[in-house]
């Protein structure tokens, strides 16, 4: 197993562990309704720990992976970089309470990082589907659906669940891209 694949799997495990751990520590938090970013929102007692002990390590590890794989696998490198940017932005620009679509300038930076992760990630997965087939297309579709759900206030009750599905699609597409070389 390559070093890049090991780093991705460790990052995904670290991410999953953090979602469960910090979700259990946050009163009233719903994995179905609330976004992952809300675990480290401004004012939360765990905000710094979430930002620098959870989001930032994932973003940095994936940034290293992007550097490792870009030359032999440019699409995998681009997908990794999109995800890394999302996590670094979440660490450096925590969301406002409730992760609103519009908020403070910090929220705008947070949302920009999320757009790079999800819109950029979906674009790379669609590109991979042109040569890699339907697994990438399914993953890209899942991420695209997440982008739509995040933009529709009527679906706010399920945005956390949809975000987790999009994360699985991004990481799954990434592992597949690296495994296929």
Residue-level pLDDT at 127: 87
In this predicted structure, what is the pLDDT of residue 138?
79
What pLDDT does 1 receive?
A: 57
Alpha helices in the chain (DSSP H): 3-25, 47-50, 56-69, 74-92, 105-115, 121-132, 134-151, 159-180
pLDDT of residue 68: 92
pLDDT attached to residue 32? 95
Question: pTM of the predicted model, to two decimals?
Answer: 0.93
What is the predicted pLDDT for the residue at 92?
Answer: 98
pLDDT at 167: 93
- 140's tokens: 């890209």
Q: Which of the residues in the chain have pLDDT under 50?
A: none
């Amino acid at each position: 197993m390559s070093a890049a694949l090991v780093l991705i799997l460790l990052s995904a495990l670290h991410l999953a562990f953090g979602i469960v751990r910090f979700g259990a520590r946050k009163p009233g938090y719903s994995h179905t309704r609330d976004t992952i970013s809300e675990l480290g929102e401004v004012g939360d007692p765990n905000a710094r720990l979430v930002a620098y002990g959870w989001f930032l390590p994932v973003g940095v590890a994936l940034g290293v992976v992007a550097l490792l794989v870009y030359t032999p696998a440019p699409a995998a490198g681009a997908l990794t970089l999109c995800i890394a940017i999302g996590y670094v932005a979440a660490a450096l620009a925590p969301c406002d309470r409730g992760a609103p679509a519009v908020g403070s300038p910090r929220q705008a930076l947070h949302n920009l990082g999320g757009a790079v992760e999800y819109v950029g990630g979906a674009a790379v997965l669609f590109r991979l589907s042109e040569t890699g087939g339907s697994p990438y297309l399914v993953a890209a579709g899942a991420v695209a659906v997440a982008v739509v759900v995040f933009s529709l206030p009527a679906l706010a009750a399920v945005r956390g669940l949809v975000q987790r599905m999009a994360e699985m699609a991004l990481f799954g597409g990434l592992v597949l891209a690296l495994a296929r070389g």
